[in-house]
Amino acid sequence: MIWNRASLFCIPVIFYLRRLPHGSVPAPSYYPRLFSALDYIVKESFDEEFRKVAIILGLVESLAELLVLELAVFDIPARNEHRSLRKLIANALTNLTYGHAASKRRLCFYSGFIPTVVRILNEARNLAQLSYAIQGYCGKGVRFDVYAKENAVCFVYV
């Protein structure tokens, strides 16, 4: 079933990241285990039934928390592994919220999510996938503009 590899790994990683101080170096098993779980989530997220169950069980929120914590603990490191992890998270969130406006809206208001995405985009412009991932998160017909300047983030709903 869905949680044998996906969510069962996300929760311990979130607790692990919450305990790590800013600027820490992750355990050697961090990258391969997280890549495996995220790869599984991205592959399965194309299935509508998987998406429904994942949304109900909170996988979207877990992935949002994972992205926020990834940046809070590791900042914007030079390591490509973090860039790849963040891209997988963005892909998974894009797929999981496909056709589900309520999940997209929840992401808009998830504590720290949008500022995290804005910071990643501002500091690592080659992560265009994250930009695509947040487009339209606030629902159909709602334009969502993000302005970031000198550590201030402003969200404008037009």
pLDDT tens profile 32-54: 889 988 999 999 999 999 999 88
Q: Look at the chain and report how many structural domains it folds into.
A: 1
User: Which residues form the domain of 8?
Assistant: 2-157
The answer, yes or no, to whether residue 156 has pLDDT greater than 50, is no
Which CATH number belongs to the domain containing residue 98 in this structure? 1.25.10.10
**83-116 pLDDT tens trace:** 889 989 999 999 999 888 888 888 888 999 988 8
35: which residues sit within 8 A by CB, 6+ positions away?
Answer: 81, 84, 85, 88
DSSP character at residue 28 = T
Which residues, listed in sequence order, are joined to residue 149 by a DSSP beta bridge?
Answer: 152
pLDDT in tens, 55-75: 988 999 999 999 999 999 998
What are residue 46's phi and psi, to 5 degrees? -80, -15
**How many degrees, rounded to 5, is the angle at CA 28 between CA 13 and CA 95?**
45
How far does CA 15 lie from the centroid of its chain?
16
User: Of 120 and 9, which is predicted with more confidence?
Assistant: 120
Chain Cα centroid distance, residue 133: 9
Query: pLDDT-based confidence at 125, cuts 50/70/90?
Result: low
* pLDDT band, residue 124 (cuts 50/70/90): low
Average pLDDT for 114-132: 69
Q: What is the pLDDT of residue 135?
A: 53
Looking at the DSSP assignment, which residues form a beta bridge with residue 156? 145
What pLDDT score does 119 carry?
A: 85
Residue 68, pLDDT score = 95
Give per-residue pLDDT as tens, 128-147: 544 455 555 554 444 444 44
147 exposure class (CB count in 10 Å sphere: 0-12, 13-18, 19+): exposed
Q: Which residues pair with 148 in a beta bridge?
A: 153
